[in-house]
Amino acid sequence: MIRVVFNQKGGVGKSSITCNLAAISACQGLKTLVVDLDPQGNSSHYLTGKTVQEMDDTLFDFFEQCLMISSQRKPMTQLIQPTQWDNLHVLPAHSELESLEAKLESRYKIYKLKEMLQEQAEIYDQIFIDTPPALNFFSRSALIGAERCLIPFDCDAFSRQALGQLLGNIDEMRADHNPDLQVEGIVVNQMQPQAKLPQQLVNELIEEGHPVLPVHLMSSVKMRESHQLSKPLVHYVPKHKLTGQFVELFSVLSE
């Protein structure tokens, strides 16, 4: 299964959701790969403890190699890094990824990621792709390469307004490039059950027929702590309520 976690809005929980679902998947014995397409490298750092500046072998090499006709290539096995957890690997981002964007775009390399993901899907049971907060070459490559799209939603009025546009963009990618792409659902993140407005927003989305997933993720300081320690929740606080919600969400997605 190749799954992209996407929302053009920043800070809605894409990297947190990507890494925590991937860590749970790996814990359940599934061979799992996280592909980090965001030059900020938050997922790469969360899963390895290293910053993008500290990594030699990254997605930069993959995309740079897509632009070269013949030269010594680094094999994917060199670019994909192990983590300290069994079954969990990461293909790290690089801070300079954006410097390749114009060339990749002008030379029609938008299907290269898909080809690579399909090769990796022979090896990995689950592939999770983290995306930058933009509809750019990299996130479009991911929407073309994925089978499913998960949309984190942060219960904010601006996010609510942007949702129509976001779903429209995904529909357009499906129509033009990837008929297999399914919107798996909207994941409500940082839910504060006591607050009225977020609940009202979620109810409106459901009434309008949007595919809101039944498991909502609560807001907890444990998330920030787990980022700081580079330890996904299932390893940091396995019994916490938010960890339980992630486990439940993964099982809903696996049905």
Ligand X SMILES: Nc1ncnc2c1ncn2[C@@H]1O[C@H](COP(=O)(O)OP(=O)(O)OP(=O)(O)O)[C@@H](O)[C@H]1O
Of 9-17, 83-91, 193-201, 232-240, the segment contacting ligand X by CB under 6 A is: 9-17
Enumerate residues 6+ apart whose C-beta is below 8 A from 5.
Answer: 14, 17, 18, 128, 129, 130, 131, 149, 150, 151, 152
Rule CB under 5 A: which of 15-74 touch Mg ion? 15, 42
Least distance from ligand X to the Cβ atom of residue 228, Å: 9
For residue 218 the two structure tokens come to 């609560």
Least distance from ligand X to the Cβ atom of residue 188, Å: 10
For residue 11, state whether it binds ligand X (rule: CB under 6 A).
Answer: yes
The pattern of x and - marking residues 106 through 145 that bind ligand X according to CB under 6 A reads: ---------------------------x------------
Residue number with the smallest Cβ distance to Mg ion: 15
For residue 224, state whether it binds ligand X (rule: CB under 6 A).
Answer: yes
Binder among 4, 12, 52, 127 for ligand X (CB under 6 A): 12
- How many residues in the shown chain lie near ligand X by CB under 6 A? 19
Binder among 45, 94, 227, 235 for ligand X (CB under 6 A): 227
Binder among 3, 4, 8, 14 for Mg ion (CB under 5 A): 14
Query: Which residues of the shown chain bind Mg ion in the complex (CB under 5 A)?
Result: 14-15, 42
Q: Give contact residues for ligand X (rule: CB under 6 A).
A: 10-16, 38, 40, 42, 133, 189-190, 217, 219-220, 223-224, 227
